[in-house]
A and B are shown apart, each in its own frame.
Chain A
Amino acid sequence: MTTEMTSRIFASVPDAEGRFGVYGGKFVAETLMSALSELEALYRKLSQDAEFQRELDEDLAHYVGRPSPLYEARRWSDRVGGARIYLKREDLNHTGAHKVNNTVGQALLAKHMGKRRVIAETGAGQHGVATATIAARLGLECHVFMGEEDVRRQALNVYRMKLLGATVVPVTSGSRTLKDAMNEAMRDWVTNVDDTFYVIGTVAGPHPYPMLVRDFQCVIGREARAQSLARTGRLPDALVACVGGGSNAIGLFHPFLEDEAVAMYGVEAGGHGVASGEHAAPLSAGTPGILHGNRTYLMQDEDGQIMHTHSVSAGLDYPGVGPEHSWLKDIGRVNYVTINDDEALRAFHDLTRTEGIMPALESAHALAYAEKLAATMTPEQHIIINLSGRGDKDIHTVADIDGTDF
């Protein structure tokens, strides 16, 4: 395959129907179809609009605090051995994770559409906080749907959202985690579609969401690519990012897709181990199906029912994944791997102690895989890890596992 052909493939998705190969699409109830068309038309127009881009860049620079640094983790690299490791510091963004890159973008869309109310689903609470934050800034009413189980394990973020003026709605149906929060957000949207903008937090959901969330998150990879060239005079040899729905991963990977020499690793939550069945790794152990408006790899049983998932990290605890990742897996451009709970926890402590950077448990999955990968590489080679969020929100989870009471 020539480079020119390759680049045309990556630029050609999604197609007009929102498909990435056989994945993606718009599988939602009829009531939402015209809202999706309206959003798509507006987005296609605004994404070509210089004034909109200027507004977005302004927010990213002065509100989010971009660009985020590309930090060489020297001590940790020395300790791990092998390749040199750089961290893309999305944890330093306002609100502490990559999620805000997307919410400032979608909030601008909501403003252009004249919506007075925004809703969001959240797992770890980072997307909920990022949505509540931008809603506070724009004076929009904000409702965040969160599984009851996640409300319990992410109490800090729940309180942050309340302080920001959002209403947090605990979801008690199904498995009481992220997928059920998304069901409930869809139900709210279908009921209040006239005045409500649904701020989806990941590259999943019906078209155009996987496309527009990707576009808003691509700032991560664009910066990382330029920073790598400026700092080291060349591109990295490998990229590593965790994958729940997959927004931080697609944001880092996408601007490098045409760079054939750059290897990419998407790290799914292995939970208690893929063999145990208690995990959240649809790309590694699932099959294609339809959920939450798109066709993608899912964790499902032999009857097409969606299975319960497990991960120590609430943000990865989701049975589906963005459709573009499904496509990138099938065409072989990205390698999808798993890291178990205990490995992620070990990496959480390692990075905290050697670099003074406390990662989110989601990002710790990427760190743990990069440790294994670096050991197989040479000191002349570089890895960029997306450090997608900071770990403050996970302190209670880590303390519980360590048996510490504070």
Chain B
Amino acid sequence: MSKIAGRFQQLAAQGRKALIPYIVAGDPEMALTVPLMHALVAAGADIIELGVPFSDPMSEGPVIQKAHERALANGARLRDALDMVQTFRERDADTPVLLMGYANPVEHMGYGVFADRAAEAGVDGLLTVDIPPEEVAGVNAELHRVGMDNIFLVAPTTPSARIKAIVDQASGFIYYVALKGVTGAGNLDAADVARHLALIREHTTLPLAVGFGIKDAASARLVGASADGVVVGSALVACVARAASEGVDHEGLVRAASALVAEIRAGLDSIASR
């Protein structure tokens, strides 16, 4: 069983929800990514989703677009993201780490080379926004060769027949996109999310995590009631960016990020304890 699947199983046994924070590798500074990853775990993260900077992040709203631009300006590339995971693994062998990004940097490195290097660095899964099941055969063969999960998106616009095709290719968990839009949009509808999750569950027993539009303890609690986990991206990236722009030192910046994650953790755990 993969580390990601194991973590979901363990949480389910405890009646808890997975908290999956997202940050961009190299944002706001190269040296801060690994300390941030450790701090997120200490504050209650179950899985880390590390964004791979790309010049054309088509599915991102303004907050995460700017994070990609900052990271690229700092020189962060796919190989740096892999190095950061490798460094993270020196002190944390257990927390699953997932890379999230776009097809081209992975394709350019080569699917086989990527799979080998990612496995060696200790990456547990890959989520490429722009590789749908129709195009995934090449990359999936390489990921499966090294025992890595491929995480797929299911959207509110995904019809039932496609859900089946997607879950057939997926492992680890399914990432449900809570709204039609880019990351960080605000129009979250928890009842609609719950309806869609029920639909997906007709096709799979894989855990379901929900992202896009979850920004605080309240929204996490609302969505977490029907999901197995939540992804928090833009809110966390904005929190880090705000601290950086205010000139807060490294320690203060890490503290601000930890405080947000701890607050969302408490929100999620209040569902479990009910």
Contact = CB atoms under 8 A, between A and B. Distances in A.
Interface of A: 17, 25-35, 173-174, 179-180, 183, 186-187, 190-194, 287, 289-293, 295, 298, 300, 302-306
Contacts of B202: none
Given A26-B135, A173-B65, A303-B78, A290 B158 contact: no
A275 to B, nearest CB: 23
Nearest to A33: B132
B185 interface: yes
Interface in B72-123: 72, 77-79, 102-109
A35 B159 CA distance: 11
14 contacts: A25-B134, A28-B58, A29-B129, A29-B155, A30-B155, A30-B158, A31-B177, A290-B103, A291-B56, A295-B107, A304-B108, A304-B109, A306-B55, A306-B104
B180 A194 contact: yes
A17 B107 CA distance: 19
B54 interface: yes
Given A35-B157, A289-B107, A306-B104, A28 B56 contact: no
A29 B212 CA distance: 13
A30 to B, nearest CB: 4
B79 A303 contact: yes
Report the interface size class on chain B.
35 or more
Contact of B132 (A27, A187, A298): A27
B69 interface: yes
Contacts, number: 119
Given A33-B158, A34-B162, A306-B56, A27 B130 contact: yes
Contacts of B152: 30
A290 B132 contact: no
A17 B136 CA distance: 12
Given A29-B129, A191-B181, A193-B180, A305 B134 contact: no
A246 to B, nearest CB: 19
Contacts of B104: 289-291, 298, 300, 304-306
A131 to B, nearest CB: 20
A293 B108 CA distance: 15
Contacts of A33: 132, 155, 157-158, 162
A304 B107 contact: yes
A287 B55 CA distance: 16
B272 interface: no
B180 A31 contact: yes
A342 to B, nearest CB: 28
Interface in B134-191: 134-135, 152-159, 162, 166, 177, 180-182, 185
B204 to A, nearest CB: 15
B180 A190 contact: yes
Contacts of B107: 289-290, 295, 304
B59 A25 contact: no
Nearest to A173: B65
B256 interface: no
Contacts of A287: 108
A183 B102 CA distance: 13
Contacts of B159: 34
B131 interface: yes
B58 A187 contact: yes
Given A35-B157, A304-B104, A304-B107, A290 B130 contact: yes
A174 B58 CA distance: 11
A305 B185 contact: no
B58 A29 contact: yes
B77 A187 contact: no
Given A303-B77, A303-B105, A306-B104, A28 B157 contact: no
B154 A30 contact: yes
A31 B185 contact: no
Nearest to B102: A290
Contacts of B135: 25-27
A354 B70 CA distance: 50
Top 10 closest pairs, chain A to chain B, by CB: A304-B108, A304-B105, A31-B155, A303-B77, A191-B181, A30-B153, A290-B103, A306-B55, A30-B155, A27-B130
Contacts of A183: 56-58
Contacts of A179: 56
Nearest to B153: A30
Contacts of A193: 157, 180
Contacts of B130: 27-29, 290, 293
B182 A191 contact: yes
